[in-house]
Chains A and B, each alone.
Chain A
Amino acid sequence: MSVTSGKRTGAVEIDSTAPVRADGLSVAYGADTASPVWALKDVDLTVPSGRFVSLIGPSGCGKSTLLRVLAGLLEPTSGTLSAGGTTPGDLRRSRATGFMFQDPTLLPWMTVRQNIGVLARVAGRPIGSAEAERLAELVGLKDFLERYPDELSGGMRQRVALARSYALDPTLLLMDEPFGALDEITRQKMNDELLDVWEKKSPSVFFVTHSISEAVYLSDLVVVMAPRPGRIVAQVEIDIPRPRRAEMRFTSAFTEYVGEIHTALTEAMNS
């Protein structure tokens, strides 16, 4: 198991309509030892492109590992994973994968404008200043383009990170608890903004969260995972119409989904 790096493949065809598909995907830490730890074991998952998928489960269930494999930052020990009609590694090397961390990870020496554009620039598809302004407007930061990250609040910084991911125009957008450090009010506001942005141009999103209601609110599909070994124990399709509105959190359908996932999670914890 190693981090893929190095060779530019360049000529890989990205098919942004291809599903994300995992077949018998397993990742073991210490695979060559007597007692490997299975971060993921025999994970099968097929998700059509352009869906919003949340991964939820107790710590150690492998959701962050799955995200890292999807990002092409980690090679599976066995099994296969494909996205965008190719391997995650090729997708990353084609700079078609956006990754958002819990920490916004802005570069403190760059302005908001430069931060928004930096990944696209590194990826060889620099965005013009009009595009940077459009993205900033999309996340409500048009007046802050020339500011530095240390002048922004936590929510604003995460919005910059979102705009930066969108500047890449990703086929696959991976989000590792991006709003985990925010307070509840800001978090709900960010959820709505994320959906606004996502609905304009829908990449496939994999969103790791600890919040059941956040998962239900955002997703087309909630994948419930369990630890030791890391595996999928339930897949819950969320059939709530879009665009989602804050008041939908109080409908009975919403509550039922939350209950269903809660039950699956409780079983996962006790198993």
Chain B
Amino acid sequence: MNARAALRKFLPPIASLVALVVIWQICCVVFDVPRFILPEPVDIARSVVDNFDVLMTHAGVTLTELLIGYALGVGSGLLLAIVMNFAAPLKAAIYPILVASQTIPKVAIAPLFVLWFGTDLLPKVLIIALLAFFPVLINTLSGLEGTDRDQLNLMKSVDASPWYVYRFVKIPSAIPSLFAGLKLALTVSVIGAVIAEFVASSKGLGFLLLSYNASLRTTELFATLVILIAISGLSFLLIVAIERMFSWQQRGAARRGGSTSIVPKGESA
């Protein structure tokens, strides 16, 4: 994407975001809103700067939980998707249970995890992993199962081993939906981290939110939210960037946008 196209794409949302913040600021000043109800954006920004060290310390804790929990959830979701795609009887045996288990509000079992695993890193990591696991599993599995039948027949026509079938056909064709799952998993992971810290913790951004809330330090609470949003936003962009590198669909779309068709004239497309 060239600079102008990027500008055309990103300028409108950025402009409306800026407008929103400006309106917010004006409203706070004009209507003289109490600071503990809704702080001014300018104050929030100042608070981010002033409390940067504290915010980063707690952000580090939350980020650690997120990284480990997300990796664990994504890894096990991926693995189980492949195993279930490979072994149909296993899928028949456990898939319905897994789907049914999704009706359990996982947030509700967070206190139980604290009871079992204490108040340290472990229960947070497990709750995040639990939340991240399912979207990755579902999306990867549907991607693997959505593999084009002709492509599978092609592999069968040369008696391809399962390894080659996965390597050349099934996994590449599952990549777009795998990334859809990764993005979904990231969003729920951040929720999981905050909830887990709400339940029992003495550090982390979730803990910070709760303690600022309790002492009506609303400006600092908003500053914490800003950091939290920055973390999920940046991680999301990171996944999008990785997807750009890996996904053949993204690659094709980017290329088609950039150059004209090379199909020679007179040749039917």
Contacts A105-B148, A107-B169 known; 16 new A-B pairs at CB < 8 A: A5-B159, A71-B157, A92-B159, A105-B153, A110-B168, A118-B168, A119-B158, A121-B164, A122-B155, A122-B161, A123-B158, A148-B251, A156-B263, A156-B267, A168-B158, A186-B268
Question: Which residues of A line the B interface, CB within 8 A?
Answer: 3, 5, 8, 71, 73, 92-93, 95, 97-99, 101, 103, 105, 107-110, 118-119, 121-123, 147-148, 150-156, 168, 182-183, 185-186
Q: Is the CB of A95 within 8 A of B159?
A: yes
Residues in B whose Cβ lies below 8 Å from that of A97:
157-158
Q: Is the CB of A105 within 8 A of B150?
A: yes
Can you name the residue of chain A whose Cβ is closest to the Cβ of B157? Answer: A99
Can you name the residue of chain B whose Cβ is closest to the Cβ of A156? Answer: B267
Q: Is the CB of B150 within 8 A of A101?
A: yes
17 A-B residue pairs with CB within 8 Å: A92-B158, A92-B159, A95-B158, A98-B157, A101-B153, A105-B153, A107-B151, A108-B248, A119-B157, A122-B161, A122-B164, A123-B159, A150-B252, A154-B269, A156-B267, A183-B268, A186-B267
Q: A105-B148, A118-B168, A122-B164 are in contact. Are A153 and B263 (CB under 8 A)?
A: yes
Can you name the residue of chain A whose Cβ is closest to the Cβ of B156? Answer: A73
Residues in A whose Cβ lies below 8 Å from that of B172:
107, 109
CA distance A192 to B248 in the complex (A): 33
Can you name the residue of chain B whose Cβ is closest to the Cβ of A125? Answer: B158
Give 1 or 0 for each of B211-243: 1 = CB within 8 Å of chain A CB. Answer: 000000000000000000000000000000000
CA distance A186 to B161 in the complex (A): 36
Q: Is the CB of B154 within 8 A of A155?
A: no
B29 interface residue per 8 A CB criterion: no
B160 interface residue per 8 A CB criterion: yes
Q: Is the interface of A mostly helix, strand, loop or mixed?
A: loop
Q: A73-B153, A101-B153 are in contact. Are A154 and B158 (CB under 8 A)?
A: no
Question: Which residues of B line the A interface, CB within 8 A?
Answer: 148, 150-151, 153-161, 164, 168-169, 172-173, 175, 248, 251-252, 255-256, 261-264, 267-269
B247 CB to closest chain A CB (Å) equals: 9
Q: A101-B150, A103-B150, A148-B252 are in contact. Are A122 and B268 (CB under 8 A)?
A: no
Residues in A whose Cβ lies below 8 Å from that of B150:
101, 103, 105
B195 CB to closest chain A CB (Å) equals: 38
CA distance A101 to B151 in the complex (A): 10
CA distance A156 to B262 in the complex (A): 12
Q: A73-B157, A109-B172, A118-B168 are in contact. Are A147 and B268 (CB under 8 A)?
A: no
B171 CB to closest chain A CB (Å) equals: 10
Q: Is the CB of A151 within 8 A of B153?
A: no
Can you name the residue of chain A whose Cβ is closest to the Cβ of B252? Answer: A150
Q: Is the CB of A92 within 8 A of B157?
A: yes
B230 CB to closest chain A CB (Å) equals: 33
CA distance A185 to B175 in the complex (A): 37
Residues in A whose Cβ lies below 8 Å from that of B262:
147, 151
B179 CB to closest chain A CB (Å) equals: 14
Can you name the residue of chain A whose Cβ is closest to the Cβ of B152? Answer: A105
CA distance A118 to B167 in the complex (A): 11
Residues in A whose Cβ lies below 8 Å from that of B159:
5, 8, 92-93, 95, 123
Residues in A whose Cβ lies below 8 Å from that of B153:
73, 99, 101, 105
* Of listed A95, A105, A121, A182, residue having the most chain B CB within 10 A: A105
Identify which of A3, A73, A103, A122 contacts B160 (C-beta below 8 A): A122
CA distance A108 to B264 in the complex (A): 20
- 3 pairs of A and B residues whose beta carbons are closest in the complex: A109-B248, A99-B157, A153-B267
Q: Is the CB of A122 within 8 A of B158?
A: yes
